[in-house]
Structure 1
Amino acid sequence: MSGGWNTIESDAGVFTYLIEKLGVKDIQFEELTTLEVSELQALGTIYGVIFLFKYPSGEKRSDTPKDGTYDHEAANTLFFPAQTIQNACGTQAIVSLLLNREGEVEIGKELKEFKEFAGDFPPELRGETLSNSDLIRETHNSFARSSPFIDETTRAATEDDDVFHFIAYTSINNKLYELDGLQPAPILHGDCTPTDFPSKIIPVLQRRIARYPETEIRFNLMACVRDLRIRAREIGDEDGLELQEDKRARWLWENSLRRHNFVGFISELLKGVVKAKLDEGNGAYDKWIEEAKARTKKQREKT
C-alpha cells in the first residue's frame, strides 16, 4: 500500500514547480488578489483556476449543488476522479484541470500514461488510482513543509480543526465546469468558451464566497496560465521577462526552504548564545535572564 499524503500550501511557486516535476511544460500558476475580470485577462492564455476555501464542517452531500447542476454523464466522459484520501485535494485539483485540457497543454509522458491507464475507470476507481500513484504522491509530498512536530498522514482531524479544500474550475468542450472530487459529479455552470472564461468564472466565485459570513476572508485563488516568460519573450518585454525570472528564482529558494527542518539549527544557535553568556561570567547569564523577563513583563503591560 502507498504511503500517506502530506499537506501542501496554496502557493503559486509550489504549484508551478510541482507540475514541472510531473513533466508539465510551459505552464505556471499565478495568485490572484482580486475578483476582477481584467486581472485574469491580463494573464494571457488561461487554462483554469484553483480555488481554496474553508470546507463547511458537517455539510451533507445533496442531490443538487448550491450553484450550477451536476453533470453525471460528464463524470464518466471527463477526467473526474473522486477524492478518496486526505490531503490530496490540492494535487488532485491540479491534475484534474490539466488532464482535461490535454491538447492545449503539454502534460508530459508520465501524466499522459496515467490518464490513458485510468481514464476509462469510474470516478471512484480513478480516485483510488491517483491516490496510489507513487509518482504523483511522492512529487506532492516533496513540496510539503517540513515539520518535526506533526505527521499529517497519521494525525486524526478534530472538530476544532479548520479544514480547507481545493477545487478546480475550467472550460471543457465550451462548458464551465467545477471539478470537486468530494462531489458526485462535475458541476456545470453553463456555456463558456476558453475566451469567455475570465468573465464567466468571476460571478461563480463571487456567489460562492457570498455564501460565507462577511468575516470569513480565508480564500485563495490561483490561475493556471501559459508560462508568462514565453509571452514576455514573444513581445520583447525585457523588463517583464526579468521580473518573471526573478520570481522563479524566489520560488525556487522558498521551495528549498520548505524541505528543511530548522529545529536543529535553532537549537545549536541557542546553545551558542547561552554558552557565550556563561563564558562572560560575573553573573552575565543571570543578568541576561532578568533583562529578558523585564522586557516580557513590559510588553505584556502594553497589551
Structure 2
Amino acid sequence: MSGGWNTIESDAGVFTYLIEKLGVKDVQFEELITLEPDELRQAGQVYGVIFLFKYPTGESRSDKPKDGSFDHDAANDLFFAAQTIQNACGTQALLSVLLNKDGEVEIGKELREFKEFAGEFPPELRGETLSNSDLIREVHNSFARSSPFIDETQRTATEDDDVYHFIAYTSVNNKLYELDGLQPAPISHGPCTVDQFPDKVIPVLQRRINRYPATEIRFNLLACVQDLRIRAREMGDEEALEVEEQKRNEWLWENALRRHNFVGFVGELLKGVVKDKLNQGNGAYEKWVEESKAKTKRRGDAQKSGGDQ
C-alpha cells in the first residue's frame, strides 16, 4: 500500500464534500439531533444513515450479533466490504450506503468502476481493494484535520483509549441492513422498504444506544439524503434555498480550515508582538511580561476560590 489513512471527523460538511470529490452528485449529509423518525423523514429522500459510536477495544467477533441476524448470503447481492485498515471506517461506511444505492444515486464514473471491479470479490478482498484505492484514500485524507503534533497513521489503540467506529444502515432489497466492516457479514434487521426506513431504523439505533451506560453520550448520527437544495428549488422555497446555500458556504470555509494547522502562524504572530514590545523601549517589554504574569496569577487565584475573572 502506498500510504496510510488518517482520521476524519463525523461532520456533515466533511462527508458531503468528500463524496462530491469522489464524483457523487445531488447527495448530502445532515446531522440528526434526535432519534425521532419524524426528524429523519423531514430530511426528504433518505438513502441511509451513518452512526458513530465508541467501540469497545476488547470486543471480538461472535457467531451471533447482539441485535438482528447475520445474512451471509446478502454479501453476494449487495456491496459489503470487510474493514482491513485502521481509520478508514468513516469513508467505508458512507460507501456502504452509496454503493448500494447505485441507480437511485448518481455515484459517478470512478466509484461505479470501483464497484464493478471489487464487487466480484469476497468481502475481505473488497476491503483490501478499497484500502488500496489511491483515489479514495487521497480524497479521504484531504479531509483529515491537520495536526503538526500527532501522526494518526502511526497510532495504535490500547484498551485505555477511546476508539470510535462508523457503521452504516440502509434499506437494500426491502430489508434493513447494518453494514459494519468489522463484522463477518451484513446484519439483517428484518423487512424494510425505502419508505419504511425512518420508522424501522430508529428503534434499532435506540436498542444499540441502550446497551451503553446512561452516562455515555458520545454518539453521532448523520443522514445520507438527497441534496436539500433540489427540494427547495422544486417547491420554490427561496428562504430554504438561501439557508442551504449559506450552509454550503460555511462547510467550505470549515473544510478549508481543517486542511491547515496554524502553529506557524501563531508563532510568527507572537514573535511580531514581542518584537513590537522590544522596539518600544523604555521597559515596555518587561512591563508587558509582568502584567501578563500578574493577570495569570489573578485568574489562578479566582479559579481556586471558585470565582470568575
SS in 1 for 2:72: coil
Residues matched between the structures, number? 303
Please state how far the C-alpha of 1:165 moved relative to its aligned partner: 0.3
- Hey, what does 2:147 align to over in structure 1? 147
SS in 2 for 1:153: helix
Structure 1 vs Structure 2: percent identity of aligned residues?
79
- Hey, what does 2:178 align to over in structure 1? 178
Distance 1:281 1:158, change over 3 A: farther
- Hey, what does 2:201 align to over in structure 1? 201
Please state how far the C-alpha of 1:63 moved relative to its aligned partner: 0.8
Alpha-carbon contact 2:57-2:158 (below 8 Å) kept: no
SS in 1 for 2:168: strand
- Hey, what does 1:103 align to over in structure 2? 103
Matches within 5 A, 1:1-303: 1-303=1-303
Please state how far the C-alpha of 1:252 moved relative to its aligned partner: 0.6
Stretches of structure 1 that go unaligned for 5 or more consecutive residues are none
Please state how far the C-alpha of 1:201 moved relative to its aligned partner: 0.7
Q: 1:100-141: CA deviations, max 9, x gaps?
A: 111101100000000000101000000000000000000000
Please state how far the C-alpha of 1:265 moved relative to its aligned partner: 0.7
Please state how far the C-alpha of 1:260 moved relative to its aligned partner: 1.2
Alpha-carbon contact 2:97-2:169 (below 8 Å) kept: yes
Q: 1:55 & 1:23 partners in 2: Cα distance?
A: 30
Alpha-carbon contact 2:58-2:159 (below 8 Å) kept: no
Q: 1:174 & 1:119 partners in 2: Cα distance?
A: 20
Alpha-carbon contact 1:76-1:123 (below 8 Å) kept: no
Please state how far the C-alpha of 1:145 moved relative to its aligned partner: 0.9
Q: 1:140 & 1:154 partners in 2: Cα distance?
A: 17
Q: 1:301 & 1:239 partners in 2: Cα distance?
A: 50
Paired amino acid for 2:235: I
Q: 2:215 & 2:63 partners in 1: Cα distance?
A: 29
Alpha-carbon contact 1:70-1:188 (below 8 Å) kept: yes
Q: 1:141-160: CA deviations, max 9, x gaps?
A: 01111111111112222333
Stretches of structure 2 that go unaligned for 5 or more consecutive residues are 304-309
SS in 2 for 1:49: strand
Please state how far the C-alpha of 1:17 moved relative to its aligned partner: 0.4
Q: 1:287 & 1:197 partners in 2: Cα distance?
A: 65
Alpha-carbon contact 2:232-2:238 (below 8 Å) kept: yes
SS in 2 for 1:159: coil
Paired amino acid for 2:254: E
Please state how far the C-alpha of 1:75 moved relative to its aligned partner: 2.3
Moved more, 279-288 or 262-271: 279-288
Please state how far the C-alpha of 1:47 moved relative to its aligned partner: 0.2
Q: 2:83 & 2:34 partners in 1: Cα distance?
A: 28
Q: 2:123 & 2:2 partners in 1: Cα distance?
A: 19
Alpha-carbon contact 1:229-1:241 (below 8 Å) kept: yes
Alpha-carbon contact 1:51-1:166 (below 8 Å) kept: yes
SS in 2 for 1:189: strand
Alpha-carbon contact 1:180-1:186 (below 8 Å) kept: yes
Q: 1:65 & 1:297 partners in 2: Cα distance?
A: 55
Q: 1:54-106: CA deviations, max 9, x gaps?
A: 00121121111111111111123211000000000000001111001111011
Q: 2:52 & 2:194 partners in 1: Cα distance?
A: 22
Q: 2:137 & 2:88 partners in 1: Cα distance?
A: 8
